[in-house]
Structure 1
Amino acid sequence: MNFLAHIYLSQDRDLVQIGNFAADSIKGKKYKSLPVEMQKGILLHRKIDSFTDSHPIVFKSAHRFFEKYGHYNTVLMDVIYDHFLAKNWKSYSNIPLSDYVNSFYELLQTHFEILPKNVQRFYPYMVEQNWLLSYASVNGIEGILAQMNHRIKHRVPLHESIVELEEFYEELEHEFSLFFTELIAYSKKELSLIDQLYDKAPN
């Protein structure tokens, strides 16, 4: 899953959201110097990634992209599944997506000083280009994938995966819906377990 899903799965807890969002920038045990709620978000992010990477529905979706894109197929699924979350947002939240993402941008600005340095660097571009809202359209994710091409030095033409997305659109959307229902329940359970772990930890 990509940014939008990780934010959504954080149970509307501010610093958990920030930790879940920024977790890829915080390696190993470096998270332990951060605020406790942010630590919980990072641990939740890692649980979500492990669950997603090993799930048969995600494997089925990603396999459609393997022949052309190799192991980048899992990168594509992160973005494509976020697209389906954004597209079907009303099924998961009563808050309009535009309001939700704007509130999150404001949350990042409020806690800017505790964000990892690379998140601080890309934050202005994220807001200016409204990355989170752009997931809702195929054109939007095509633009995101084109930007990702630059980061991977054009090893694979990720933006061309829009062809496969449109070919298998209904199947992928159905698979996302089945998987995300499971992921919501899993994330709630894991965050509760993480809370219990911290409650038991010595001060």
Structure 2
Amino acid sequence: MNFLAHLYLARPRGVAEPAALVGALMPDLVRGPLPLGLPPAVCSQVRRHRRIDRATDAHPAFLEAAAFFRPRLGRFAGIAADVCLDAALCRAWPGLHPLPLEEAIRRYHGGLYAGRGHMPPRMRAACRRMLRQGWLLRYASRAGLLATFGQMSGHFAQRLHRPVDLTPAAEIATEHAADLDRLLPELMARLQREDVLGEASAAG
């Protein structure tokens, strides 16, 4: 699951409090040990995020989604599948959430900004870029996916000190949109059926 899915799952059919939204993204945006003294709402969502990732990565539906990307993207197939399942979430949004996608994202942005005091500096900088560049809404269009994968390509190229091109993932996601739309509900159902969402979902 990627950023939009984790924010959504922090409180399905609602918008979680700022500290919970921060915790929902923290494992993806903070390297190494997490800061000490985090509020309970942040810690609860961090644990939940990790449970969601473990359950998702082992689920046959996610493995099928990743397989679409593996021939062209190799080791990055799972990362591409995460992002493109957020695109499927955008398409499914009207049936999942009472707020329109744009309004929900606006509230997620507001909550993350309000909770910035709980973020270490690296996460705060990443969230500033997320809000300024509109990362979450990018998943709703092919052009947005291209921009996302272009940005990710540069990030991984810098980390790995070699060229990386993830932009073919946008084309693959378009080709397999119907498959991704089919697989997303299977993943969501598993999370709910096996109570992976745990204590933090009770408010949703």
Q: Tell me if structure 1 keeps the 8 A contact 2:88–2:177.
A: no
With over 3 angstroms needed to count, the CA separation of the structure-2 counterparts of 1:2 and 1:189, relative to structure 1, is closer
Q: Which amino acid aligns with 2:78?
A: T
- 1:30-41 to 2 correspondence within 5 Å? 30=34, 32-41=36-45
Residue 199 of structure 2 corresponds to: 192
Residue 68 of structure 1, CA deviation = 1.5
Residue 32 of structure 1, CA deviation = 4.9
Per-residue CA distance 1:106-148 (angstroms, 9 max, x = gap) = 1122121211211211223211221111211121111111100
Residue 9 of structure 2 corresponds to: 9
In the alignment, is residue 170 of structure 1 matched against residue 178 of structure 2?
yes
Residue 128 of structure 1 corresponds to: 132
* Aligned mates of 2:67, 2:10 — CA distance in 1: 28
**What is the CA RMSD across the aligned residues, in angstroms?**
2.1
In the alignment, is residue 79 of structure 1 matched against residue 86 of structure 2?
no
Normalised TM-score (structure 1)? 0.86
Q: Tell me if structure 2 keeps the 8 A contact 1:22–1:119.
A: yes
Gaps of 5+ in 2: none
Highest relative contact order (Cα 8 Å, sep 6+), 1 or 2? 2
- Identical aligned residues as a percent: 25
With over 3 angstroms needed to count, the CA separation of the structure-2 counterparts of 1:55 and 1:31, relative to structure 1, is farther
Residue 19 of structure 1, CA deviation = 0.1
Of 94, 100, 107, 1:103 maps to: 107
Q: Tell me if structure 2 keeps the 8 A contact 1:32–1:39.
A: no
Gaps of 5+ in 1: 196-203
Residue 65 of structure 1 corresponds to: 69
Residue 17 of structure 1, CA deviation = 2.1
- 1:20-39 to 2 correspondence within 5 Å? 20-26=24-30, 30=34, 32-39=36-43
Q: Which amino acid aligns with 1:62?
A: A
Q: Tell me if structure 2 keeps the 8 A contact 1:16–1:37.
A: yes
Residue 49 of structure 1 corresponds to: 53
Partner SS state of residue 88, structure 1 = helix
Runs of 4+ aligned residues of structure 1 deviating over 6 Å after TM superposition are: none
Residue 180 of structure 1 corresponds to: 188
Residue 112 of structure 1 corresponds to: 116
With over 3 angstroms needed to count, the CA separation of the structure-2 counterparts of 1:69 and 1:119, relative to structure 1, is same
* Aligned mates of 2:147, 2:182 — CA distance in 1: 23
